[in-house]
């Protein structure tokens, strides 16, 4: 297991920015079939934004206005509706991402095409090294719809239950103030390691509860996001769940830095879905930095060992 370092975290963030710039410079991304993918992603995001406004936010404002006109205790009703409005906004903000993750299982081809096109472009820019795209392209991108969807729903339901339990525990007098800092430390332990978990947990004790909740949710979201972005690679490499865990454990710091930038991008309203597509393509660049080029033999086995990031970065 590779030791977690701040340098690795910084490299991951740099790789994310470099990957995004490479995607924007790739002339093939401006071809019709890839423009259609981005237009499709933008349409999905815009439709979800409008629907949530029409079906949730606007009716809530109408109810708020009616209560303000008719209620003797308008201030109390207004406060209750404001709290409900904040909660609904937090839920609504995740709908575009949920829709994209759902699309990964229903119709994964557009996002897979973005990933593979980015790999092909990188191979063209670096002809001196063994290729990535041509080897991975020989492995069929085969999704087991019902099995993968069932696993995704189980993971989502588990996170929902944990979040609900944490909210309930946070309301307990005296004990509640320790709930989210502890949850943040545990999530950091899963994502980064023991030492970092202790440091993050201590920091959470000095933050407001709302900020702690947001950070815990971001840590969980970043971890899930990175797994989904690299799905085209994992599937073609026939990696089991344990092999994925080992793969992640050796690259925690770099992946954490990359996923932080990607997560911030997709949280942008309206354009978040397009940003997801860009992050999907940019993850191909990050893959070429943290792994050796695959071979036909390794495409059915566990991926090869890490490269030294500094050496790889210098060669690019």
Q: Measured between alpha carbons, how far is 308 from 130 in angstroms, rounded to an integer?
A: 17
Structural domain total, the chain: 1
Higher-pLDDT residue of 265 and 3 is: 265
In a domain, 231, yes or no: yes
Handedness of CA 115, 118, 120, 126 (dihedral sign): negative
Q: For residue 84, what pLDDT is reported?
A: 62
First to last CA, the chain: 25
Q: Which of 13-17, 163-167, 260-264, 296-300 has the lowest mean pLDDT?
A: 296-300
What integer is the mean pLDDT of 268-295?
87
Residue 172 lies in a domain: yes
Give the helix ranges, DSSP H, for the chain: 6-25, 32-52, 58-70, 74-92, 95-106, 109-125, 133-137, 145-170, 179-191, 194-204, 209-229, 231-236, 241-249, 252-266, 272-290, 309-315
Note the pLDDT of residue 183.
Answer: 78
Is 166 inside a domain boundary? yes
The span from the CA of 220 to the CA of 154, in Å, is: 15
Looking at per-residue confidence, does 59 or 275 come out higher?
275
Domain that holds residue 228: 6-47+96-315
- Contact, 192 vs 253, CB < 8 A? yes
pLDDT confidence band for 191 (50 / 70 / 90): low
264: tokens are 């911030």
Q: Bigger pLDDT: 152 or 119?
A: 119
Sort 269 into a burial class: Cβ within 10 Å, 0-12 / 13-18 / 19+. Answer: exposed
Residue 56 lies in a domain: no
| Per-chain mean pLDDT for the chain | 76
CB within 8 A of 212, min separation 6: which ones?
A: 180, 181, 184, 204
| Whether pLDDT at 305 is above 60 | no
Q: Is residue 221 included in any domain, yes or no?
A: yes
Distance (Å, rounded) from C-alpha 278 to C-alpha 204?
31
Q: Which of the two residues, 151 and 16, has the higher pLDDT score? A: 16
At residue 199 the predicted structure's pLDDT band, cuts being 50, 70 and 90, is confident
Over residues 230-249, mean pLDDT: 86
Is there a domain that residue 35 lies in? yes
Per-range mean pLDDT, top range of 89-93, 281-285, 292-296 = 281-285
Quote the CA–CA distance of 107 and 190 in Å, as a whole number: 30
What gap in Å lies between CA 278 and CA 111, rounded to an integer?
A: 9
Residue 63 lies in a domain: no
Residue 91 lies in a domain: no
Query: Model-level pTM?
Result: 0.74
């Amino acid at each position: 297991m590779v030791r977690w370092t701040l340098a690795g975290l910084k490299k991951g963030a740099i790789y994310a920015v470099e990957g995004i710039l490479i995607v924007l410079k790739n002339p093939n991304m401006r071809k019709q079939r890839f423009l259609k993918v981005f237009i499709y992603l933008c349409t999905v995001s815009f439709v979800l934004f409008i629907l949530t406004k029409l079906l949730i936010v606007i009716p809530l404002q109408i109810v708020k206005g009616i209560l303000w006109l008719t209620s003797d205790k308008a201030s109390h009703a207004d406060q209750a509706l404001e709290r409900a409005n904040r909660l609904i906004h937090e839920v609504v903000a995740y709908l575009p991402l949920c829709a994209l993750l759902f699309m990964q299982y229903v119709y994964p081809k557009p996002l897979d095409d973005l990933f593979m096109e980015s790999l092909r472009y990188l191979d063209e820019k670096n002809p001196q090294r063994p290729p990535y795209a041509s080897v991975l392209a020989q492995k069929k991108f085969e999704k087991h719809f019902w099995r993968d969807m069932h696993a995704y729903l189980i993971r989502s339901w588990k996170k929902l239950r944990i979040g609900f339990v944490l909210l309930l525990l946070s309301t307990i007098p005296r004990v509640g103030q320790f709930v989210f800092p502890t949850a943040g430390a545990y999530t950091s332990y899963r994502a980064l390691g023991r030492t970092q978990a202790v440091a993050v947990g201590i920091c959470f004790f000095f933050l407001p509860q709302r900020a702690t909740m947001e950070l815990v949710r971001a840590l969980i979201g970043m971890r899930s996001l990175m797994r989904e972005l690299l799905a085209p690679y994992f599937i073609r490499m026939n990696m089991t769940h344990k092999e994925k865990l080992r793969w992640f454990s050796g690259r925690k710091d770099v992946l954490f830095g990359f996923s932080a930038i990607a997560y911030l991008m997709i949280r942008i309203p309206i354009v978040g879905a397009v940003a997801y597509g860009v992050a999907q393509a940019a993850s191909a660049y990050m893959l070429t930095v943290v792994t050796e080029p695959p071979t036909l033999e390794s495409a059915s086995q566990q991926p090869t060992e890490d490269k030294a990031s500094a050496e790889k970065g210098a060669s690019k």
